[in-house]
Chain A
Amino acid sequence: MDWMKIVSAIALVMFIVFLFPRARDMMKNSPKGSSSDWMGFAIPIVIIVLFIMLLVKLV
C-alpha cells in the first residue's frame, strides 16, 4: 500500500506545480470584492456548514 501513498503524493505535488502559475495569475488579475460581495459569498457558505452539520446528525 505504500506505493499508493507515494504515487498519490507525487500526483498531488505535480497538480500543485501545474496550478501554481494559474493561481498566481488569478491572484493578480481577479477584481477586488466589496464587503457586500464577500457577504454574498459568506452567507451561502455558512448555510452549507449548517447543512453539513444536519447531514452528520442524520447519519
Chain B
Amino acid sequence: MNQNFSTVAQRSPSALATNKVLRNTYMLLSMTLLFSGLTAAISMFMNMPPMTYLISVIGGMVIAMFVLPRFANSPAGIAIVFLITGMLGFGLGPILSLYASLPNGGNIITLSLGGTGVIFLGLSGYVLTTRKDFSFLGGFLMVGFLLVLLAAVANIFLAIPALSLMISAVVIMIMSGFILHDTSRIIQGGETNYVMATIGLYMTIFNIFISLLQILGIMGGDD
C-alpha cells in the first residue's frame, strides 16, 4: 500500500509537468494562430507583392533555427515565437490574395483552413487518447522531409504541376507524422519546453495549410 502510494506520489509531479507543457503549448499555439490570421489579413489589406511570402518564410525560418533556441527558456522566447508566426502569417497574405482572386478561391481557402483544422485536431486527439509513443517515427520523418525538400528544389526549375501536386501530398503525410511524433513527445515527457513545442506544431499546421491550398487549387481548377 505504502509502495503504491509512493509510486503515485512519484508519478504525479511528472504527469503534472507534462500536462502543464501540453496546456501551455496549446494555449500559445492558439494565440499564435490567431496572430498569424491577423497579420495575414493586414498583409492582404496592404496588397503586399508575392515576394513577401519568400522573404517572410526565409526570415521566419532563420529566426526559428538560429535565434529561438537561444531564448527558448526565457520570456523573450514567447515574443520571438510571435515574431516568427506573425512574419509567416504576413507572408501568407499575398498567397491568400492570389487564391481569393480565383473563381472558386473563397471555397478553396475555406476548405484548406477547415481541412487543416480537422487534420490537426484529429491527429492530436488520436495521440492524446491512445497515448502511443511515436518516437520511432523521428528518423523516418526527417529523411522523408529532406527527400521532399530535394524534390522541391528540382521542381523550382522543372515546374511540373504533377510533381508539385505529389510534393504537396507527401508534405501533408510527413507533417501529419510530425504532429503524431511531436504530440507524443510532449505527453511522454520528451519535450519539456512549450516554446519549442509550439513552434514545431505551428510549422506543421502552416505546411499542411499551404500544401492543402496548393492541392485544392490545382485540383479545383479543372472545371
- Taking beta carbons and an 8 Å cutoff, which residues of A are in contact with B? 4-5, 7-9, 11-13, 15-16, 18-20, 22-23, 26-33, 37, 40-41, 44-45, 47-49, 51-52, 55-56, 58-59
- Taking beta carbons and an 8 Å cutoff, which residues of B are in contact with A? 50-51, 54, 57-58, 61, 65, 104, 107-108, 111-112, 115, 118-119, 122-123, 126, 130, 132-140, 142-143, 145-146, 149-150, 152-153, 156-157, 169, 172-173, 176-177, 180, 212, 215-216, 219-220
Whether A59 pairs with B104 at a CB distance below 8 angstroms is yes
Whether A45 pairs with B51 at a CB distance below 8 angstroms is no
Shortest B116–chain A CB gap in Å is 10
Known A12-B152, A55-B111, A59-B107: A30·B220 in contact at CB below 8 Å: no
Report chain A residues within 8 Å CB of B119.
48, 51
Report chain B residues within 8 Å CB of A52.
115, 169, 172, 212, 215
Tell me the nearest residue of chain A to B154, going by C-beta: A9
Cβ 8 A contact of A59, one of B130, B146, B216: B216
Beyond the given pairs A37-B136, A55-B212, 7 more chain A to chain B contacts, judged by CB atoms under 8 angstroms and listed by A's residue number, are A27-B139, A31-B136, A55-B115, A55-B216, A56-B216, A56-B219, A56-B220
Report chain A residues within 8 Å CB of B172.
48, 52
Task: Describe B's contact surface by its main secondary structure.
Answer: helix
Whether A30 pairs with B136 at a CB distance below 8 angstroms is yes
A33 CA / B145 CA spacing, docked (Å)? 19
Whether B54 pairs with A18 at a CB distance below 8 angstroms is no
Report chain B residues within 8 Å CB of A45.
173, 176-177
Shortest B86–chain A CB gap in Å is 19
Shortest B97–chain A CB gap in Å is 17
Report chain B residues within 8 Å CB of A16.
146, 149-150, 153
Report chain A residues within 8 Å CB of B50.
4
Shortest B109–chain A CB gap in Å is 11
Shortest B91–chain A CB gap in Å is 13
Whether A51 pairs with B115 at a CB distance below 8 angstroms is yes
Shortest B107–chain A CB gap in Å is 6
Tell me the nearest residue of chain B to A54, going by C-beta: B115
A51 CA / B122 CA spacing, docked (Å)? 11
Report chain B residues within 8 Å CB of A30.
135-140
Whether B149 pairs with A12 at a CB distance below 8 angstroms is yes
Whether B54 pairs with A7 at a CB distance below 8 angstroms is yes
> Can you show 6 pairs from A to B with CB atoms below 8 A apart?
A4-B54, A5-B157, A18-B65, A20-B146, A47-B122, A55-B111
A27 CA / B54 CA spacing, docked (Å)? 30
Known A9-B157, A13-B153, A27-B142: A44·B180 in contact at CB below 8 Å: yes
